[in-house]
Amino acid sequence: MDFMTDRDVQKECDELRQRMGDMVRRWTSPKHCRTTFSTNHDEQLKAQASSKHTVQEAQTISSPVETRSAFSLRKEFLTTKGIHRTKTEVLNKVGHALHAYEPLYKQVTHSPKVQGLARKLGLVSPVILQSMFIFKQPGIGGEVTPHQDATFLHTEPLGRVMGLWIALEDATENNGCLWFIPHSHNSGISRRMVRTPKGTYPMTDFTGREQTYNEQKFSRSVVLIDGEVVHRSSENTSEDSRHVYTFHIMESQDTRWSPENWLQPTEELPFPQLYTK
Ligand SMILES: O=C(O)CCC(=O)C(=O)O
């Protein structure tokens, strides 16, 4: 399915990175957007207790460049270590509706390559759930602990969600490539992030716990991420960034999207169909 030459692909990756750079330069960070991203269970609970933003942003985001969008900062690095870093150098990620509001990202998400891939996989009515730009900054890009995406994006039955993870720069063992446990998508899920009852805080909680996985079981792999496969990435201790554009799709035919998921479609921002024709 080679629709493009290597040079075309490089150009597309560069354009996506440039566009993100422009967005970040134009962005001013309101306090409620300043959360520190973590996939650690206890740190996630702490962050949820101090921020209503993630859930609200999923419902109200109107443009990733406006203040209501989710820019998650590694803010502790802004003024520490005696070095001043710009926001472009400390952002962790930008999400979760680039596919809906940013024309360039929308175009890539619905590109013939992606649609062709989904058709090859036999998806009948795939919809786009969310999208993110992940920075994995040099020197400070944090670890993403072992997890399954179905913890956050739950469906009945399971097996309907898939992530497409597009490396816009080389992803290596030094700058935090992805690692997977082969076959782990066959063992169900051990943890779920669910909405708490309306009007209570934090707005989300976890049921179950992530298991402890044997480090030796992880191997580096490609970019189609089954919703249940256990995966992780390490800290970026190198001098190179590891920029990624990633989005999740779901086969919507005969699938129930859990109303307990943190992310819910709205009238303003439904889950758009992947296929445009
Ligand atoms: O890019 C990373 O380091 C982690 C991404 C990830 O876990 C995901 O897209 O599900």
DSSP codes of every residue in 230-255: -EEE--B-SSS---EEEEEEEE-TT-
The secondary element (H helix, E strand) that includes residue 26 is: helix 6-26
Atom 6 of ligand 1, residue of closest alpha carbon? 232
The secondary element (H helix, E strand) that includes residue 104 is: helix 103-109
pLDDT tier, 50 (very low <50, low <70, confident <90, very high otherwise): very low
Of 233, 235, 241, best ligand 1 pocket probe by most atoms within 8 Å of the beta carbon: 233
Measured CA to CA, the distance from residue 133 to residue 150 in angstroms comes to 19
Average pLDDT, rounded, for the chain: 83
Query: Which range is most confident: 43-57, 85-99, 262-276?
Result: 262-276
Determine phi and psi for 247, rounding to 5 degrees. -145, 160
pLDDT tier, 250 (very low <50, low <70, confident <90, very high otherwise): very high
Any atom of ligand 1 within 6 Å of the Cβ of 244: yes
* 261 vs 32, more confident: 261
Structure tokens at 115: 């649609």
All domains of the chain in start order, with CATH: 6-257 (2.60.120.620)
Any atom of ligand 1 within 6 Å of the Cβ of 95: no
**Mean pLDDT across 236-260:** 96
* 254 vs 43, more confident: 254
* 273 vs 83, more confident: 273
Any atom of ligand 1 within 6 Å of the Cβ of 165: yes
Instruction: State what percent of residues in the chain have pLDDT above 90.
Output: 61
pLDDT in tens, 198-209: 898 888 999 999
Ranges 36-45, 80-89, 182-191: which has the least confidence: 36-45
pLDDT at 163 (0 to 100): 97
pLDDT tier, 46 (very low <50, low <70, confident <90, very high otherwise): low
Greatest C-alpha distance within the chain: 54
Any atom of ligand 1 within 6 Å of the Cβ of 233: yes
Sign (positive or negative) of CA dihedral 11, 138, 71, 37: positive
pLDDT tier, 56 (very low <50, low <70, confident <90, very high otherwise): very low
pLDDT tier, 215 (very low <50, low <70, confident <90, very high otherwise): confident
Structure tokens at 48: 């949820």
203-240 burial, b if ≥16 CB within 10 A, otherwise e? bbbeeeebeeeeeeebeeeeeebbbbbbbbbbebebeb
**Mean pLDDT across 141-149:** 95
Atom 1 of ligand 1, residue of closest alpha carbon? 134
Any atom of ligand 1 within 6 Å of the Cβ of 141: no
**Mean pLDDT across 158-181:** 93
Atom of ligand 1 nearest to the CA of 136: 3
Structure tokens at 143: 């670890």
